[in-house]
Amino acid sequence: MTDEPPTHSQSVRAQLRLREMILAGELSAGSRIAELTLVDKLGVSRTPIRTALMKLEQEGLLEALSNGGYAVRTFTERDVSDAIELRGTLEGLAARLAAERGCAARVLEQAKACLDMIDQLLGNERLDDDAFSAYVAHNERFHALLSEMSGSVVLQRELERVIGLPFASPSGFVISQANSPQARDMLIIAQDQHRQVLLAIEQREGSRSEAIMREHSRMAQRNLSEAMRSPDMHPVPSVRLIRRQT
C-alpha cells in the first residue's frame, strides 16, 4: 500500500482498532509492534499507523523502544492500583465541589434516571452478560455526570485523562467479576453508594460526598485484587497486561 496522505479519521480509526486489539489480547504483553503487519491488517498506510502508535504511547498502552518502534506495555498491580486511587481522589473532589457549589438540577435528574435504570437491572436475581454490559454503560454514564456536576472544566479534563488510563475506568473490572457468585451483591453495594452520594450532594454535605466517592473507589481496588488472584486469573484478556504483585 502506498503511503498516501492520511485523513484524521484514518488515524482515529487505527487508534481505536489498535486499542481494541491490545485490550482483547490480540497483541500480547511485551510484544513488539510490527508496522507493516498492521498496515495489512488495518488496511491503512503507515502514516496513520504511526500517529495511532504515538497516541497509544501517550495513553500508556505502548512504550517506545530505545532502538525504535513500540512494544505493548505491561503494568504492575501497583500501577493499576495507583490509577484507581487517583480516580477516587478526583471523583471525591468532584462530589465535594458539586455539594458545596451546587449543581444544575438537570444534571442531577439525569444522574437519578441513570441509577433508576441500574436498579431495574439489579432487580433480576441473576445477571447475564447482556445485563452486565448494560450495567457498564449506565455506570460509566453516571460517573460522567458526576464529573459534570463539579462545574469545573479543569477537574472534568483531569478526570477524563485519568479515566483514560488503562484499567482506571469506573467499570474497569466489572465484567471480570461477571461470573462471580458475589457479583450482584457487590453491584448492589456500589449502587447504594451511588444513591448516597447524590443524597449528600443534594443536602450540600461536601465532606460526606467526598468520603463516599473515595470509599467507592475501594470497590474497584477489591475487584482488581480478586481479578488478579482468582483461579481463573484472566476472565478479561486485558488483565494479562498486569503483572501480579508478589
- Contact between residue 31 and residue 71 where contact means Cβ atoms under 8 Å apart: yes
**Which residue ranges does the chain devote to CATH 1.10.10.10?**
8-73
Give the residue ranges of the chain where pLDDT is below 70. 1-8, 173-182, 230-239, 245-246
CA separation for the pair 86, 184 (Å, rounded): 26
Here the contacts of 58-67 (C-beta below 8 Å, separation 24 or greater) are 59/19, 59/164, 59/165, 59/166, 60/165, 60/166, 61/19, 61/22, 61/23, 61/166, 62/22, 62/33, 65/32
Residues of the chain with CATH 1.20.120.530: 76-235
Q: Per DSSP, which regions of 19-127 are E strands?
A: 62-64, 70-72, 75-76
What CATH number has the domain spanning 76-235?
A: 1.20.120.530
Residues 206-242 pLDDT 10s: 999 999 999 999 988 887 777 777 645 444 556 677 7
> How many whole angstroms separate alpha carbon 71 and alpha carbon 86?
26
Take residue 230 and report the three cell numbers written for it: 482468582
**Residues 6 or more apart whose Cβ sits within 8 Å of residue 89:** 214, 217
What residue type is 179 in one-letter code? N
- What is the grid cell recorded at 225? 485484587
Q: Are 201 and 150 in contact (CB under 8 A)?
A: no
Class of the domain covering 8-73: mainly alpha
State the Rg of the chain over Cα.
20
Reported pTM: 0.74
114-130 pLDDT per residue, tens: 999 999 999 988 777 78
Strands in 28-156 per DSSP E: 62-64, 70-72, 75-76
